[in-house]
Structure 1
Amino acid sequence: MNKVFLSFLLLFLLASCKSVKKHNEQITKLHSVFDLQEDVDKLYSQLKKHHPKLYQYTAKETLDFKFDSLKKSISQPLDSRSFYKKLAPVVAEVKQGHVSVGSVSKWFTKRERKALKKKKFEFYDLDFEYLEGKLWVKDYRGKDSTLVGKEVVNINDEPASKLVETYKTRFASDGYNKTLHDRFISKGFSVFYYRDKGYLDSLKMTFKSKDSLFSKIFRRIEKDEKKEKNDKVIDTVSLEKAKPKKLTKEEKQAIKLAKKKRKKDNRKFGYLGKRKQYTRNFSFKGKDSTVAYMKIRSFSNGPYKKFYKESFEKIESAKTEHFILDLRDNGGGRISEIDYLYSYLTDKDYQFIAESEVKTRTPFLKSFMSNTTPNSIKVAGGLLFPIVATHNLLKTRKRDGKIYYKFNKHNKVKKPNKLNYKGKMYVLINGNSFSASSLLSTHLKANKRATFVGEETGGAYNGTVAGIYKSYQLPTSKVKVRMGLMQIEAPYKQTPDGYGIKPDVEVLQNVKDSQSDFDTELEWVLNDIYKNN
């Protein structure tokens, strides 16, 4: 029996290695002009078939011309990464932020992946910020804190500003606004660099400090390197001193309870281990409790109801007069969470979203029955087809030649939460306020519920195509494209279409404030509160 199992295991590993080799050969070889043009046609066909608002911001004639011009520009064989660089800017012309193009990447064998897990690339410890036309180091989770605040001049001898401007053409906001581009490139610069260059073991960066230039090599290093170095300098005397004392039963119980509480808090607040931050944060500003501050980094991490319930209980108990909701750099998440949060921010009955326009009566089936879906999921989908299809058919209806999907929970009119906040409210927004955070902001803006401070959101006021997604892999190049399948929108509209929620007071952070950790937008709000009181 053991021999049979080992034989199957060996065959599986050989097949896996062969698959990795085949994939890597496929993405690195030169593809014919005809095959790449076929990839373009198949992608455009998928977008026309599944995207319900494909021509919302770019006219059909214009988009037809863009894709046709792309095909004509492919005049010689290209590898997959080079094809991605030509394709992404054209897909960005759709101007729908949830349509994204992923670059192809090298696959690794199981042994290689195991070895890579023991290492980290120092470059990925850098956080960037693009301000005033320059790329800066916002934070560094490595050992050299002196890099923070320095301007990035070159990366492997390429100007950083040129890289940024190139990467900004490879993704889109919702519609015509440009605020998302600088913010999103700040947040995801290292990801775009990886898509552009692929796997690297090292790279050289040149920085500017005042009027002088200096360079640093970032390498792929062992994760435990620091720990090993520290271990070498610890002597036996230190070890004796560090030896833990024997704990009493009561102390052990206290430690156990503390760990249990920390685990619960990490779930409630949505702990982000890599950055040592919480997704959901609540505090009072100043000496008294007249100003409450809630920072939400996303709407997609862990359970949320207990956090909001406890926060608004504190606000109610403290009789808080001013409430600040910080949605800066919040890229979105769950409709259920923003619907629940909004119930605490309004004192009127409300409908959170309108019925969602879709292209098919069975959108959920189209979502997971794709060429990127594992065969096991497809088999499960086949078995569940009658149930899912029936569910989808009952939820969709045709009206005026279009198909609409109904979310019963979010489409119906609901009452506000009994703990709803009635005081003065401010909302902080920027270009990275996208998707779900923009949808929530639309409600607050339309009902004149808050004063908005910051810059225009990257997500559109009139909604976005998201909800559920379809991932499609192009047959030859293996480039993957993700697209939303549902138009998600609040029952409010503004004209002209294609712009985000605009601030009542535009406050923009500059390099000087950023490098001194001065929160320009938040300080404006606090000053406004204290000035008027």
Structure 2
Amino acid sequence: MQKSLLFFCILLVLFSCKSVKTYNEQISANHSVRGLKKDVDIAYGKLQKLHPRLYQYISKDKLDFKFDSLKKTITQPLSSKQFYEKIAPVIAEVKQGHITVSPPHNQFNNKEKKELLKKKFEFYQLDFEFLEDDLWIVNTNGIDSTLVGSKVIKIENDSVVKLINNYKKLFSSDGYNTTFKNRFIGLRFSGFYYKDKGFKDSITLTLSKSDSIFSRVFRRIPKDSTLASTTVDSLKKVKLSNDQKRVLKIKEKQKRKDNYKYGYEKSRDRYTRNLNFLGKDSTIAFIKIRSFGNGNYKVFYDESFAKIDSAKSKYLILDLRDNSGGRLAEVDKLYSYLIDEKYQFINKGETKTRQPFLKSMLSKGSPTGLKVAAVVMSPFIGVYNLFKSEKKEGKHYYSFPSVKVKKPSLNNFKGDIYVLINGNSYSASSILSTNLHATKRAVFVGEETGGAYNGTVAGLFKNVELPTSKVDMVFGLVQIEAPYKTEPDGYGIKPDVEIIPTIEDRLNNRDPELEWVLEDIKSKENN
């Protein structure tokens, strides 16, 4: 029995190594013209079949022409990356920001993965921001704080301006919005660079700061490299008494609870959700939400608004800057604390299928276990989906829990609300902003949101791997929109007070949007 198990494990390892090698060889080879044109047809065909708003911002005739023209440009074999650089700009013409296209990259066998997990890449520790047509390092997350405020001129031998101009062609915002691209390119620059260049062990940046130009190499280093300077004595374990162990255990348990409640981001050593009170008398509550994607949001909002109610705060500042979205249920929950009457958070979502959950679960990129579960449970999921969907005037509609009319939460905030927004306020955070803006519940400060006022196609996603090139395409299956509309279509929530930060603000550690709000509150209090 043990010999059979050992033999099976050896076969599994050998097969895994072989499949990784085969895959890497496939994506590095040039693919046939016929195969690549078939990939184009498959990509467009999937979008036509399943995307409910494919022609919202571009006519069918124009999009047909662009895909036909793309096929005509494929006259010789191309690598997967070359094909990606051709098809991504065409798909971006749909102007639906939740459609993402990614090139394939070399895979690693289990041994290589284990070695990589022992290391961290310094380049990924950098936070970038695109301001005044330049790329700046605005945070280094502990590796070298002196680099903050440096302008990136080149990466390896490539001009950053050229890189950014190329990357902007590969994705889109929702509709005709322009703020999203500039903000998103900074927020996710490392990801774009990886898509472009693939795996790197080191990267050299040419930087400019205080009228001097210098280079800096960022490498993959051991995760525990910070222990290198620690003395042996300091690493010795201290023997704790039973009482000390008990106290330590309680503290660790509480820390785990807090990490879950506030949404701890280990890579950045920070929380996703934060509540603070500004000023001496707790008049102003300040909630910063970096995303709606992790942790126990229900406990956080219940506790936070109980604290705000207890403190008798008169003003609430909600910071949604650089919040690119997340869970619909979470923004619904938050909104229930910002309104004092019955509300419907979203409409029923338009979709091209009555089985969006199954279509999403059976995507190419879904985990094998999820696919197996979807197949086994398909009769039950199918019946459930049928109850959640309906057909009206020739269109299918799907009903999420947020469609239901609800009462506001207890301890809902009744004071003045300010919302800080920018181009990275996207997706779910834009749905929340639409509701607050339409009901005149808040004053908006900053710049136009990246997400559209009239909704976005998201909710559930379909992952498609194109068979020849292995290029990956992901797109939404359901139109998610608030019960409010504005004209013209295709733009975000416009701020009541527009404030665009400058690099000088960043260098001087100033927050001009927040400063304006605090001055406005001060003026109200004085009057």
Residue 168 (structure 1) aligns with: 168
How far apart in 2 are the matches of 1:211 and 1:222? Answer: 33
How much has 1:33 moved relative to structure 2? 1.5
Structure 1 unmatched runs, 5+: none
Residues 65-85 of structure 1 deviation map (CA, whole Å, 9 limit, x = unaligned): 111121112222111011111
Residue 103 (structure 2) aligns with: 103
SS in 1 for 2:96: coil
How far apart in 2 are the matches of 1:75 and 1:435? Answer: 38
Describe the shift of the 1:246–1:363 C-alpha distance in structure 2 as closer, same or farther (beyond 3 A): closer
Match of 1:526 among 513, 518, 522: 518
How far apart in 2 are the matches of 1:524 and 1:485? Answer: 39
Residue 189 (structure 1) aligns with: 189
Match of 1:360 among 353, 360, 364: 353
Residues 459-501 of structure 1 deviation map (CA, whole Å, 9 limit, x = unaligned): 1111110110010000000011001000011111111100111
How much has 1:89 moved relative to structure 2? 1.2
Output the amino acid matched with 2:384: H
How far apart in 1 are the matches of 2:335 and 2:470? Answer: 41
How far apart in 2 are the matches of 1:329 and 1:101? Answer: 22
Q: Single out whichever of 413-422 and 43-52 deviates more from structure 2.
A: 413-422
How far apart in 2 are the matches of 1:26 and 1:207? Answer: 37
Residue 382 (structure 1) aligns with: 375
**Are 1:150 and 2:150 counterparts?**
yes
Residue 455 (structure 1) aligns with: 447
How far apart in 1 are the matches of 2:373 and 2:412? Answer: 43
SS in 1 for 2:476: strand
**Are 1:282 and 2:275 counterparts?**
yes
Match of 2:507 among 511, 515, 520: 515
SS in 2 for 1:518: coil
Residues 363-412 of structure 1 deviation map (CA, whole Å, 9 limit, x = unaligned): 111112233345554343222121111111121111111011122x3222
How much has 1:27 moved relative to structure 2? 0.5
**Are 1:327 and 2:320 counterparts?**
yes
Output the amino acid matched with 1:468: L
How far apart in 2 are the matches of 1:207 and 1:245? Answer: 44
SS in 2 for 1:532: helix
Output the amino acid matched with 1:255: L
How far apart in 1 are the matches of 2:225 and 2:311? Answer: 49
How far apart in 2 are the matches of 1:511 and 1:351? Answer: 40
Q: Would you say the 8 A contact 1:270–1:302 is kept in 2?
A: yes
How far apart in 1 are the matches of 2:119 and 2:236? Answer: 30
How much has 1:353 moved relative to structure 2? 0.9
Residue 498 (structure 1) aligns with: 490
Q: Single out whichever of 505-514 and 516-525 deviates more from structure 2.
A: 516-525
**Are 1:9 and 2:9 counterparts?**
yes
Q: Would you say the 8 A contact 1:353–1:490 is kept in 2?
A: yes
Residue 287 (structure 2) aligns with: 294
How far apart in 2 are the matches of 1:374 and 1:442? Answer: 34
**Are 1:310 and 2:284 counterparts?**
no
**Are 1:423 and 2:415 counterparts?**
yes
Describe the shift of the 1:443–1:139 C-alpha distance in structure 2 as closer, same or farther (beyond 3 A): same
Describe the shift of the 1:247–1:426 C-alpha distance in structure 2 as closer, same or farther (beyond 3 A): same
How far apart in 2 are the matches of 1:266 and 1:180? Answer: 30
Q: Would you say the 8 A contact 2:125–2:143 is kept in 1?
A: no
**Are 1:262 and 2:255 counterparts?**
yes
Q: Would you say the 8 A contact 1:122–1:142 is kept in 2?
A: no
Match of 2:436 among 422, 431, 444: 444
Match of 1:402 among 390, 395, 413: 395
How much has 1:249 moved relative to structure 2? 3.3
SS in 2 for 1:128: strand
How far apart in 1 are the matches of 2:489 and 2:332? Answer: 23
Residue 132 (structure 2) aligns with: 132
How far apart in 2 are the matches of 1:218 and 1:338? Answer: 38
Output the amino acid matched with 2:298: K
How far apart in 1 are the matches of 2:349 and 2:40? Answer: 28
Q: Would you say the 8 A contact 1:85–1:196 is kept in 2?
A: no
Match of 2:424 among 406, 429, 432: 432
**Are 1:413 and 2:413 counterparts?**
no
Describe the shift of the 1:274–1:371 C-alpha distance in structure 2 as closer, same or farther (beyond 3 A): closer
SS in 2 for 1:135: strand
Residues 40-97 of structure 1 deviation map (CA, whole Å, 9 limit, x = unaligned): 1110000000000001111111111111121112222111011111111111111111
Describe the shift of the 1:492–1:243 C-alpha distance in structure 2 as closer, same or farther (beyond 3 A): same
Residues 181-226 of structure 1 deviation map (CA, whole Å, 9 limit, x = unaligned): 1111111101100100111122221111232211122222222333
Q: Would you say the 8 A contact 2:127–2:137 is kept in 1?
A: yes
How much has 1:144 moved relative to structure 2? 2.5
Identity %: 56
How far apart in 1 are the matches of 2:58 and 2:433? Answer: 25
Q: Would you say the 8 A contact 2:52–2:477 is kept in 1?
A: yes
How much has 1:523 moved relative to structure 2? 0.9
Structure 2 unmatched runs, 5+: none
How far apart in 2 are the matches of 1:528 and 1:374? Answer: 50
- RMSD (Å) for aligned C-alpha atoms: 1.5
Q: Single out whichever of 499-508 and 257-266 deviates more from structure 2.
A: 257-266
- Scaled by the length of structure 1, what TM-score is found? 0.96
Output the amino acid matched with 1:68: D
Residue 226 (structure 2) aligns with: 226
SS in 2 for 1:496: coil
**Are 1:23 and 2:15 counterparts?**
no
How far apart in 1 are the matches of 2:142 and 2:83? Answer: 34
Residues 394-431 of structure 1 deviation map (CA, whole Å, 9 limit, x = unaligned): 21111111011122x32221111121111111000010
SS in 2 for 1:152: strand
SS in 1 for 2:39: helix
How much has 1:34 moved relative to structure 2? 1.6
How far apart in 2 are the matches of 1:243 and 1:115? Answer: 26
Q: Single out whichever of 437-446 and 366-375 deviates more from structure 2.
A: 366-375
Output the amino acid matched with 1:330: N
Residue 250 (structure 1) aligns with: 243
